[in-house]
Amino acid sequence: MSMEEISKLASKILYHKRKYYDGEPEISDEAYDSLEDRLRLLDPENPVLFIIGAPEGGKVTHDIPMLSCQKAQGIDEVLKWSQGLELYIEYKIDGFSLSLTYDGGHLIQAATRGNGVTGDDTTIVAMKLSSIPKSIPVKDRIFIRGEIFMPISEFQRINSLEAGSYSSPRNLAVGTIKQKDLSLLEKRHLEFFAFDLLGYAEEDTLNERARILMNWGFHLAKIDQLADPTKENILRVFSKVETERESLDFEIDGLVLKYNDSKAINNAGATAHHPKWMIALKFESRGKSTEIKDITWQVGRTGVLTPVAELEPIEVSGAVIRRATLHNREFVEALDVAIGDQVMVIRSGDVIPKITTVENKGSNQVRLPNKCPSCGFTLHKDGVNLVCLSEVCKERDIQKIRHWIKIIDIKGLGIKNIERLYSSNNIKHFSDVYNPELTESKLISLLGKNGSKVFQNIQRSRKLPFHIFLAGLGIESLGLQMGKVLAKHYGTWDELEKTKVSELVKIEGISDLTAGYILEGIQDPTLGKALFDKGVSIDYTSDRRRVIRPTKSNLLDFIGESEKAESIKEPIDDEVTESKGTVYVTGKIPDLTKKEIKALLERHNYEWASLTKTLDLLVVGENPGGKKLEKAKKYGIPIRAWEEFYSELE
């Protein structure tokens, strides 16, 4: 039998092995055993015969945890970390980590990093990659760590065949691996670069480990070695790689620097999150130039207008960007930006679009509105902002209603339904959600059959935890985190209502200005009192479960991101320009409920949002919905694995 026929037989065994572990066997156990017996007779050393468990799809516990890599903020931090020790330097490849297990000289298992303790079994992928040796001349049980990625040339080839369906090589690589169609691994070329060797006879340096890996047939990401890691030398290597970046056939986003000496590595040790003997130095986000087609001014719930640049669509860091915030009036004037200008767009933190400079000035001058685009009221300059002070402004009122509904989480009342209820004069203020006239039959007549669910959700929201009630009022500087602080410090609404500015400012993180905003809002009869009058009440028990007296140490956990961010793709509010973007998480996340995931995102200044064209990022957990992945690819939305996203959050 030829080698090609042996390869086909091995692929057939892999296919049926996975179908068995998926609970969808297509052949009997006897028929499967006969296939393995035949392969064992023809090629007794074939690595497929040595696979442990499922070839892909299950969970693998790493014998040695796969920790994250700490990230430096700049050259100076790297210099301090290096301690003058000899450094081993690698490309920071924009792929995802893989751990290979060899035993008895054979590759027996491959798994993704996952959460560092357990990962997804991807043995079948490893078996298909020519850059991963299936056997090595060592009988010990060893582990080889590395990065799997798709070459840029391969990405371009596939995209040319499929009408530009994919946003980035990394996203396409992830999609290829997660597909159950085994033929894709034959049609799409993936690569693997090794970056660590564990469990083998201890070598004195990483450089010696690298030599061993190369002798076994692995490709490496190593680029340099620094015996004298001065600031000038580190900067020289960094600048050289940044210059060569465009000529590489794989995407990189920086360097990884490691202590070269094994003793230094052992002495450095590790935290629960990352080894102390390695650090990453990332490049600045790469931007691209595009034209501003229009500038729209969106009215937020406090009346502040936020300018948004409508852009000629352009792909930046794997996502198609059509809009970007211009922050406020002062930013527009300082940047001297106008319709027709060519501007530089980056993705801040590789998530949210940001305009940095005007690259080529067009013929138009800066034009600021003098009338509110929603109600026509004359605008007022307030510091860096333009503000609508009209008593009645449709867009501002709708944003106030929308804010309450989002914080309280009344499902079914999206922006379109809110506009419908506003235009029909049923809801003009967020307290009107609880009007007795807004019956179930009334909502059904206005919203269709979904009205019944909306009605039930409204009724369930009539009793709320104290901190959520406070955050929903839309008081400036009083978001969910500040709401938690106030709910812990003040036992009831009455206590908070009777407080003074002098008392509020004693709480760490509350300035005179913030205290003034809070007290003015609490005492405003159109906010809390309006809700109480409609039958809304506060459940104080949930906020009393853990009483914390405010001190500097424990309040730091609550203060910092004081507002739940608004996406720049939806109406932008004045308090939300620090948002890192909108995120949707699909698939199962071990040990976390949906509410806990949302809370985690909010704590790090992300906003949970629906999977629409305007989403900034799709995060993928276990067993994600195929349709959601397809939809994200279609819209050009970046896709990232939960484990990687989470490690960066923490």
Tokens of 293: 């087609």
Q: How many Cα atoms sit within 13 Å of 171 on the Cβ side?
A: 25
The answer, yes or no, to whether residue 559 has pLDDT greater than 70, is: no
Terminal Cα distance for the chain, rounded: 53
Note whether 407 and 546 are same-domain residues.
Answer: yes
pLDDT at 449 over 50: yes
Write the pLDDT tens digit of every residue in 401-423: 999 998 988 988 888 999 999 99
Q: Are residues 254 and 365 in the same domain?
A: no
Q: What is the pTM of this model?
A: 0.48
Residue 573 in any domain: the answer is no
We report the CATH number of the domain holding residue 312 as 2.40.50.140
pLDDT at 26 over 50: yes
Pick the closest to residue 640 from 352, 353, 350 (CA basis). 350
Mean pLDDT value of segment 499-524: 90
- Quote the domain boundaries for residue 93: 51-282
Summarize the confidence of residues 101-130 as an average pLDDT: 84
Beta bridge partner(s), residue 97: 147
Burial class (CB in 10 A: 0-12, 13-18, 19+), 206: buried
Residues 243 and 325 both lie in one domain:
no
Long-range contacts of range 492-496, CB-CB < 8 Å, 24 or more positions apart?
492/466, 492/538, 492/540, 493/466, 493/522, 493/528, 493/538, 496/470, 496/522
Structure token pair of residue 435: 């009007």
Residues with Cβ < 8 Å from 206, sequence gap 6 or more? 88, 258, 259, 260, 262, 265
Please tell me the distance from the alpha carbon of residue 547 to that of residue 637, in angstroms, as a whole number: 41
Give the span between the Cα atoms of 423 and 252, in whole angstroms.
51
Kindly state the tokens that stand for 184.
């894709």
Q: What is the CATH number of the domain that holds 619?
A: 3.40.50.10190
Give domain status of residue 217, yes or no: yes
User: Helix H segments across 281-411?
Assistant: 329-335, 394-408
Query: Residue 578's pLDDT is what?
Result: 41
483 shares a domain with 430: yes
Residue 369 in domain: yes
* Domain count across the chain: 5
Do 504 and 644 sit in the same domain of this protein? Answer: no
Tell me if 561 is assigned to some domain: no
Residue 63: inside a domain, yes or no? yes
- Which of residues 253, 282, 311 is at a domain's end? 282
* CATH code where residue 80 lies: 3.30.470.30
The confidence band for 638, taking pLDDT boundaries of 50, 70 and 90, is confident
Residues 324, 276 within the same domain: no
Domain boundary, last residue among 282, 303, 333? 282
Residue 497, pLDDT > 80, answer yes
- 635/519 same-domain check: no
Query: Are 35 and 155 found together in one domain?
Result: no
Please tell me the predicted confidence (pLDDT) of residue 550: 40
What pLDDT is stored for residue 143 in this prediction?
93
Say if residue 533's pLDDT is above 90.
Answer: yes
User: Residue 403: which of 644, 571, 268, 202 has the closest Cα?
Assistant: 571
Which pair of structure tokens corresponds to residue 29?
């156990």
pLDDT per residue as tens digits for the range 61-98: 888 888 888 888 788 999 999 999 999 999 999 888 89
Q: Residue 305 and residue 511: Cα distance in Å, rounded?
A: 24
491 in any annotated domain? yes
Residue 292 to residues 334, 336, 392, 579, Cα–Cα distance (Å): 16, 13, 31, 22
pLDDT-derived band at 318 (thresholds 50, 70, 90) equals low
Per-residue pLDDT, 575? 34
Residues 426 and 470 reside in one and the same domain: yes
**Residue that finishes a domain, picked among 282, 316, 334:** 282
Q: What pLDDT shows up at residue 270?
A: 85
pLDDT band at 573 (very low <50, low <70, confident <90, very high): very low
Judged by average pLDDT, the poorest of 24-38, 519-533, 566-580 is 566-580
Q: Considering the domain boundaries, does residue 570 fall inside one?
A: no
78 within some domain: yes
Task: Kindly state whether residues 604 and 522 are assigned to the same domain.
Answer: no
Claim to verify: residue 90 and residue 135 sit in the same structural domain: yes
Nearest to 317 by CA among 280, 359, 352, 355: 352
pLDDT of residue 566: 32
Q: Which one, of 217, 173, 177, lies nearest residue 194 by Cα?
A: 217
pLDDT 10s digits, 206-228: 999 999 999 999 999 888 888 99
Asked whether residue 179 falls in the same domain as residue 206, the answer is yes
